[in-house]
Every structure is written in C-alpha cells, then in structure tokens.
Structure 1
C-alpha cells in the first residue's frame, strides 16, 4: 500500500482526503473545502443530458464558482465535455461553459481533444463524431507542467529551414532533431472494455472515460503528494489513477450507487 502525504489546510480537509463521499458537489465544497486548497481537478460533468445519471442534474454556474474558490493559485481544472446534436445543430454548450469559466477568473490555458480510436456511432449526413473537448483552465499561470514525451519520426543532425524571410528563400542550417518531442494536445484512446479500463464494474456507470486519459492529465499537471479532486466522480476513474500515481484524492458524487462502484474499483489496491 502506498503512503499518502498528509495535507492539512484545515481539519476538514485532512479528514476527507483519500476517500469517496456521497453528496451534491456544491454543498460538499461549501461545507468541507477551504479556499485555495486543491492542486488539480479532473471531471466530466453530465453535459446536455446525453446520459441518464439516475435522474440527477447539476447547477453548472454554482459548480464553476466553487471550483474557482477551492483551486490553488497555479492550479488546474480539466473539464471534459462534448455537445449534443439535435436536428443537425450542435449545442456548443462546451464553449458556453468555457467562456463562463473565463468570465469568473480562470485562464483558458488550452483546449485539448480527447479522440476516440474505435467509436461505433455514425451520422447519416456528416462525419463520425469521435471526440470530446478537454478544456484546461488555470488559476493564473500553471505551477506544474510535466510534459508527456513521444518519439520523433527522425532524429540526429539535419539541414533544417531557418529564418525564412520575406523573399521566401529557404535558408538552411545544421540542427539536431531530438529523439523525443512533447505530445500534441490531441490525445487518442481506445474505448470500451480493455481500452477504457479492465474493471468490468466501471461500466455500470453510463459514461466512463479512459484511465490513461485521467493518468496523463494527473502526471502532466500535478506532482506526488498533490491533491486531485473530482466533484462528479462517477465510477471513480480520476480518483483511482490519482491513488495509483501517489497523489491524494477526493471523490464526490451525489449517487450512492456510483460511489459504491468507485470504492469497489479501488479497494483491491488498498489492501
């Protein structure tokens, strides 16, 4: 079992760390979480009523306001959302929400894409919709960025174009191509059992995102011992991956059924 860093801002926070809680998330944040107390938030809200979350709904503006309050200066919120298509018209709820986050003080640090490798859903008169947005909001300048690297196609010394001027001439200089580069902001994941997760019980929840997606954000925007919060934790993916990467976590969901799923997924790693 991994040892967790004890974090004490107030007595409540030290008591709620590394556990799951059944509550409405705005109520939970107001009653249990201090200002500027969380390093990283990763969540996917029930946007545009595309799934039935046991009939539960959420108050977006109140949630956004509370997230701003509890996020540390330099902290990050990763908001994973998509848009409903009705009568051939996209809602653009995702961007309306992003603009509201910006309005209340967050920087829109990045707009990333979660691309699904194996989506089965087809549209009759448009291309297959196979992505969701991952808005990365920061409270000021991000205090942590640990970029994920990937191999380059070529490496070594090459003559590369440099300082192309108004005359459009290609001036080449000898430069080194590195063996690795920072990934782009489009991330590809397989979905379904074996892609999203190997935990069969997770699919009792109607909308599960890939464990690797959560882990990639956790590694990118936080360090060991930091606090990772999911205010609508669903099947517990964010919290599980935070625990396995030696971060502290707080998971909240209004559904007792979903919290039980979250606990069951994590308990095998806590023994």
Structure 2
C-alpha cells in the first residue's frame, strides 16, 4: 500500500471511529482540574455506614474508662517539678489533666544532665511505659496524649510503632499521626549502608512523628470562646505533615534534644482549649510549659534534672509574655 493510500485509510478510520464522550474518557475536567473521570465512581463504597458499623472501628480496641473527671490539686497547677515522673504522677488523682504533650528521651546516647540515654531497649521501654501508665491514668476522660518520637534507625527499633502499640493495648483510641518534616536534610549524610547494593541499604529520614491518642472518646468538649485556632491555621494544620525547622537554641539552654515552640503551639491549638491543663512528664528545659503559659493553658512540667527545671522556670520569667518566634 502506498503512503497516500495508508494516510487516506487512517483518515477514514478516524472519521468513522465513534467520538468519545465524558462517560468513556480517561480524563476530564472538574473544578478546573484534570482528573480521572471514573475515579470517584471506582472508589465509592456501597453501604458505607453499614460496613463501618460491621467493622466496629476503634471500638474493637477502645476501653471504657471511668468518666468522672477530677480537679488537679492547686499545689501542682502551673508548676515545674523536679523528680522522677512516674513517682510524681502517682501523687495526682485520676482524670485530672486535659492533654499530655511530650517528647521522651529517644535512647540515642545523647548527653542529658541527669539521664543516661543508652539503655538496653527492654529497660528503656520499661521505664518509659511506667511513666506512660501514669499518663493514661491522670488524663481526663476525652483527654489527649501526644508523643513526639523519632525511631533510632541505626538500631532498627520502630519506637513509634512500639509506643503506639502500648497505648492501643491500654485501650486508648489512635487519633492519628503527624509527620514533623524538619527539613534538616540528614539524607545528605554519607551513611548509605551497602553502597549501590541491595545487600543492606541504610534508609535516612528528615522527619519525626507525633502519635496522637484519645482517652475514651474522639470528641473533646469545650467552650466555643476558648477556641483559639483560626480558619487558616485549622485548614493548614489538619494536613498531617508539618514543615517546621528544628530548635536552633539548644546550646543556649544546655539541652541536646529540644523541640521547637511552633510544634507545641500547633498541637495545643489543634487539640486543646484555652484553660486546659497541659502535662509534660519529660519537660526538659520547658518548651511545653512555656508555650502553654503564653497561650492561656495551665501546665504541669516534670523532669529529673534540677538544672533543666531551673532553666524551664527562668524561660517563663524571661520571655516577658512573648515567645521568641512571634
């Protein structure tokens, strides 16, 4: 067949080919965006509500905790306390704080003031969970627990998974997980493991995790006038990847592993009301208590280091009512 005949044949085939319509097109336009036409139809679950009830969801694992909340004794309110966290928390009544926001030592081998940060992993988790046991007890019904953690990847210990399993086994409800993107690009380090080989490549991460749990119920009651998150903050922060630079002033405060005030602020405004009581059982030099103080929350901070507790108190005094990044 000549080139001319071939061209005429293809042209005739195109003329006689049925025109596509929106129903059978692969792509279409919706809201000014190019999308796959059949995506929503393919993903739609029939009888969704019925199937959700059949699965039971978090109710499969959630525990029915006592619902009577108690007042935090005045001598602990807005206090920073030096001591063993588990021992201090045992003095508190059940169901007396609204939210826990904390970042425990990661067992990396860092140089803390009064803490040996290199334990056998079983010993580490035993000590950590003795504190978390008390946190579960003292958090109010419908309260929240938020734990910032980074696994020690070189030891291949999935700390965030182990901590999450602990709280699930205790009957708390997993509310979600936030990726804290630190943008410190530690992937540039030349720790690739088996270089250019599938033998044992070493994965690098630029983020940490915030694991979020609820006690007894997903919904926390509060007064409308005590909400301090605005529209733009809410829309941005419910996207569960937070890009926040790491703390830059750790040398200034003499602490090797501080988290930034912005991280605590977002957690506070998204998951608590003004006037709530905030607990940090690993308070360090007091980022949680400082942020709680300046955003209308009450607080209790505990740390085993008298030096860190002194710094935490002084930071509140020195801040003059203004956080350094605002």
Asked if TM exceeds 0.5, the reply is yes
For 1:37-76, list aligned pairs within 5 A: 37-54=96-113, 56=115, 59-76=127-144
Determine the structure 2 residue equivalent to 1:187: 242
The answer for the alignment partner of 2:153 in structure 1 is: 85
| Deviation sequence 1:58-107 (CA, Å, 0-9, x none) | 61221121111001011001001111123xx5211221111011101211
Compute the TM-score of the two structures, normalised by the length of structure 2.
0.63
Q: Which runs of 5+ in 1 are unaligned?
A: 1-7, 152-179
Report Cα offsets for 1:195-237 as digits up to 9, x if no partner: xx6x8633x1110101000001011111111100100100100
Q: Which has the higher strand share?
A: 1
Partner of 2:89: 29
- 2:261 is aligned with 1:216: no
* Greater relative contact order structure (CA < 8 Å, 6+ sep): 1
Task: Give 1:109's aligned residue.
Answer: 175
- The whole-number CA distance in structure 2 between the counterparts of 1:149 and 1:183 is 11
Match of 2:184 among 101, 118, 123: 118
Instruction: Establish whether residue 227 from structure 1 lines up as the match of residue 277 from structure 2.
Output: yes
The alignment's C-alpha RMSD in Å is 2.6
Question: Structure 1 residues 139, 124: CA separation in 2 closer, same or farther (over 3 Å shift)?
Answer: same
Q: Structure 1 residues 92 and 69, CA, compared in 2 at 3 Å: closer, same or farther? A: same
Displacement of 1:270 in angstroms is: 6.1
User: Aligned in 2, Cα 1:15/1:41: closer, same or farther, shift over 3 Å?
Assistant: same
Q: Answer whether contact 1:81 1:132 (CA < 8 A) is retained.
A: yes
- Of residues 208-217 and 56-65 in structure 1, the stretch that sits farther from structure 2 once superposed is 56-65
Structure 1 258/114 Cα, relative in aligned 2: closer, same or farther at 3 Å?
Answer: same
Partners of 1:268 and 1:52 in 2: CA distance: 25
| More helix, by proportion | 2
Would you say 1:205 and 2:255 are equivalent positions?
yes
Cα distance, 1:51 vs. partner?
2.0
The SS at the match of 2:212 is strand
Distance 1:132 1:141 in 2: 26
Q: Taking structure 1 as reference, are residues 235 and 64 closer, same or farther at Cα in structure 2, changes over 3 Å only? A: same
Q: Report the CA distance between 1:128 and its aligned residue.
A: 3.9
- 1:248-263 map, 5 Å: 248-263=298-313
* Structure-2 change in CA distance of 1:200 and 1:246 (3 Å): farther
- Contact kept, 8 Å, 1:25 with 1:252, in 2: the verdict is yes
Contact 1:148 1:182 in 2 (8 A): no
How far apart are 1:182 and its partner, in Å? 5.8
1:254 offset after TM fit, Å?
0.4
Is the 8 Å Cα contact of residues 119 and 191 (structure 1) preserved in structure 2?
no
Distance 1:62 1:186 in 2: 30
Shift of 1:120: 4.5
Structure 2 unmatched ranges of 5 or more: 1-68, 117-123, 193-201, 322-326
Return the index of the structure with the highest Cα Rg. 2
